[in-house]
Structure 1
């Protein structure tokens, strides 16, 4: 009851301030779609169509405040994003399992359509940081819950640390939760040190608390994917930081803090990485699915098999093993456990090409050097680029290709680039 009341106050405040600011209305939709209070509630919010209501409200604010929307001069953005929406639609219409495909397509196309409007609604640095902060606080709600539970000795492989197993939450599965927990670390560092909210000590302390919870979450989930992504983050942090000694000190502190919560179960689980490609069923299972996918797409190279195409591998995976590997034999189907294989199987080589170009464009946007670059521009770009690289690395082992984060990272990078371009154009005009 108290939680529902708190959520209701947040939603009402966003609606109140969102009448004249589309970015606030957009953030409300993103917050609800991340936290999903209608799914976690046991009181009056339970089952309410909050996402539908707030999405309708967002599009209403777009109409009412049309003159406040920003012009986005990036032709590649329009080409890639709209082409991807068209491509997944064509793949769905050509789906091998149309009924099942329709379930996922409904979510995917709505997600992409909503993400498309992010650059138009962000008209200032404050808008940019507001949307980023709301996303950060919404997603870290689950990370802090998982982190605290892990620090207190909870968790275990296959255990849902947030207590929402099977509810459709991205954060309910251990590998996904562990990956996102690492991904938000660069975002936490940026917001803690360079955002407008960094002046508020309570917010700065919260960001550092999230980093602590991100580390303990890796231990609580016992997910090997989390360790791989964490290792990549440590290398990226050391590579990108200009103050190498300070960077090394930060990494040593992370290692020292994390080591205090390491359990024997976690160590035993991590040691199975060495067995991954030959005798460990979870890892070998992924590999044989990838082999099956290339075989499957050979007959559907352009559009793929549509969403849930992996259902076709039921009872066939034992044919794709090689000598020396544990045999994967199961009646049911096995999912891809890889974002690139997922996109390839479901949208073909055409869809995969667009998908990879979206990722590449995101990285390029955050690698640009602008004239008279401000600190927030430099460090926000670094955070978004690192987040994208970590997400793509973790995506090698989990099905998160059509979850919102990649498209949020892309469109918010477009928005940031657009803001900086408009600012530089304005400065150039004023200099004459």
Structure 2
């Protein structure tokens, strides 16, 4: 029954795009995030629905959208350069089969992110994309949050819609994306027009936020706790009463402590020190190996270059002997361990050129959103406020991602590239509107000067 419902919904989504082709863009985003073809077992896997929606999105834009205001932004060129370079390193990879598998989804994420700003030409379209992302993520986090509340959580034991520890369904990745999406949920609750922000929208929005906060608890992902702390600090920029905000955050944190399981405390206790944790110790060893590897291979080793690593390190092992605890250093040899960091993932796979391109893409996004935030928050009225708040939300989501990416290999996560595409669309939208307003104002001033020259003011003869 679930398989039939999913299949019918996807077909209905695609059918609606016949009347409104932009819906095909949203359909692809829905399919790419939720992966209904993995949830179903007969009908949805039978058709290449992701490829169908991908092609339909491009065809709909080519055939129906106006290209009059289409502009290519330099950040799109950066993504194109990264795409070409990743293609080059894939051909040089020492693990061609594994590299080809990763390339099969990375190129789609990059191409779609390059294409996305061309379709997001209005506020309604940008908001529709956010609604689609939030509701699709909501389907995952709400179900996961319910399992957590009912006692079904635990490290590597909280099962999602699919039994697949990859993509957004990987526990740390889901925790990072869920926390990063909270500012976008708050923006929709305040400035939404697709669903006007009444009490029902706000109630649902707070429910989604609560579910997002439960993800790090249910998955026991240490990265999620760090992301919550980072987001809490970032939100200080925009709250009106910071003292009240800090007091409320402190009360909620203290109130939640009794409800957290003991296993959560034990896992979070390893954040401050990596020496006694096998997972953390392995990551540090992999990062050290990556620096040595990229020193010898400055152009990178292609996708999945980590498979070449092999290292030995000492890890303290604690043994409880009743009244005392003994610590013994044990030599551990490991190989073929993943990078567990987007930064080292870029360094190892794409070398210095790919790393610099990716960092330039991230840094320019942060700077542009900060410019929009400062420029539009000084203007009065809701017509300017939505831009400033959206820029702030996208910047906060990106910062949360960049912090979370330090501890997991999510350099090419498709959801984050959607946010980068939306950043470019928002910047281009504002630039075009400002240019148009400047042209109109200049034209009006020129018309006034022309009228004054044509009809000079008449002098009153009674005046001296």
> Scaled by the length of structure 1, what TM-score is found?
0.91
The residue that corresponds to 1:64 in the other structure is 63
The residue that corresponds to 2:173 in the other structure is 176
Gapped runs of 5+ residues in structure 1?
A: none
SS of aligned partner of 1:274: coil
Give the direction of change, closer, same or farther, for the CA distance of 1:58–1:362 in structure 2 (3 Å limit). Answer: same
Give the direction of change, closer, same or farther, for the CA distance of 1:404–1:161 in structure 2 (3 Å limit). Answer: same
Task: Indicate the structure (1 or 2) with the bigger Cα radius of gyration.
Answer: 2
Picking from 360, 367, 370, the partner of 1:367 is 370
Task: Give the conservation status (yes or no) of the 8 Å contact 2:223–2:404.
Answer: yes
Picking from 288, 307, 314, the partner of 1:311 is 307
SS of aligned partner of 2:312: helix
Task: Give the conservation status (yes or no) of the 8 Å contact 1:288–1:320.
Answer: no
Q: Which runs of 4+ in 1 moved over 4 A?
A: 319-322, 324-328
CA deviation string 1:276-323 (max 9, x = no partner)? 2x221111110000000011111110x20000100001xx2206989x
Alignment of structure 1 residues 194-233 onto 2, 5 Å: 194-196=191-193, 197-233=195-231
Task: Give the conservation status (yes or no) of the 8 Å contact 1:281–1:326.
Answer: no
Give me the whole-angstrom Cα distance separating, in 1, the residues matched to 2:424 and 2:225. Answer: 30
CA deviation string 1:384-429 (max 9, x = no partner)? 0000000110111111111112321211101011111222223233
**CA RMSD of superposed structures (Å):** 2.4
Picking from 326, 329, 333, the partner of 2:336 is 333
Task: Give the conservation status (yes or no) of the 8 Å contact 1:281–1:328.
Answer: no
Give me the whole-angstrom Cα distance separating, in 2, the residues matched to 1:362 and 1:47. Answer: 39
Alignment of structure 1 residues 125-136 onto 2, 5 Å: 125-136=123-134
The residue that corresponds to 1:164 in the other structure is 162
Give the direction of change, closer, same or farther, for the CA distance of 1:69–1:134 in structure 2 (3 Å limit). Answer: farther
Give me the whole-angstrom Cα distance separating, in 1, the residues matched to 2:72 and 2:101. Answer: 34
The answer to which of 157-166 and 25-34 deviates more is 157-166
The residue that corresponds to 2:402 in the other structure is 392
Task: Give the conservation status (yes or no) of the 8 Å contact 2:33–2:137.
Answer: yes
The residue that corresponds to 1:357 in the other structure is 360
Picking from 255, 272, 275, the partner of 1:274 is 272
The answer to which of 422-431 and 103-112 deviates more is 422-431
The answer to which of 260-269 and 15-24 deviates more is 15-24
Picking from 250, 253, 257, the partner of 1:259 is 257
2:40 is aligned with 1:41: yes
Alignment of structure 1 residues 26-175 onto 2, 5 Å: 26-67=25-66, 70-74=69-73, 76-162=74-160, 164-166=162-164, 168-171=166-169, 173-175=170-172
Q: Tell me which protein shows more strand as a share of its residues.
A: 2
Task: Give the conservation status (yes or no) of the 8 Å contact 1:21–1:65.
Answer: no
Paired residue total: 424
Task: Give the conservation status (yes or no) of the 8 Å contact 1:291–1:320.
Answer: no
The residue that corresponds to 1:422 in the other structure is 432
> Scaled by the length of structure 2, what TM-score is found?
0.85
Give the direction of change, closer, same or farther, for the CA distance of 1:326–1:430 in structure 2 (3 Å limit). Answer: farther
CA deviation string 1:51-85 (max 9, x = no partner)? 011112112212211425741253x2243111111
Give me the whole-angstrom Cα distance separating, in 1, the residues matched to 2:4 and 2:244. Answer: 43
CA deviation string 1:356-399 (max 9, x = no partner)? 00101111121113364611111111110000000110111111
Task: Give the conservation status (yes or no) of the 8 Å contact 1:161–1:221.
Answer: no
The answer to which of 111-120 and 254-263 deviates more is 254-263
